[in-house]
Amino acid sequence: MAEGVPYAIRVKGHLDDRWAAWFDQATVVNHENGEATLHVVIRDQTALHGLLDRIRDLNLHLVSVHVED
């Protein structure tokens, strides 16, 4: 596993697997409620902000961001 902190980032809307590479090799899980969770290991705060910037630039609605246990 890559060094860093595992995060779960939830957005509104479904994402297909091709977005995994765009989101730092995230695992994409789509939920029945129309939301998607990106499970990704983030190496530092700069990388986290970069990922959140991509979410903003794609006009995705951010639901939550939290560190996974």
Range of the domain at 54: 1-6+15-29+50-69
- Decide if 69 is inside a domain: yes
- Decide if 43 is inside a domain: no
Residue 2's pLDDT is what? Answer: 57
- Decide if 23 is inside a domain: yes
- Convert the pLDDT of each residue in 13-63 to its tens digit: 999 877 777 787 889 999 999 999 999 999 999 999 999 999 999 999 999
- Decide if 19 is inside a domain: yes
State the Cα–Cα distance between residues 60 and 49, nearest whole angstrom.
Answer: 15
Q: Give the sheet arrangement for strand 62-67, strand by strand.
A: 27-30, 35-42, 5-12, 62-67
Per-residue pLDDT at 1 exceeds 50: no
What total of structural domains would you count in the chain? 1
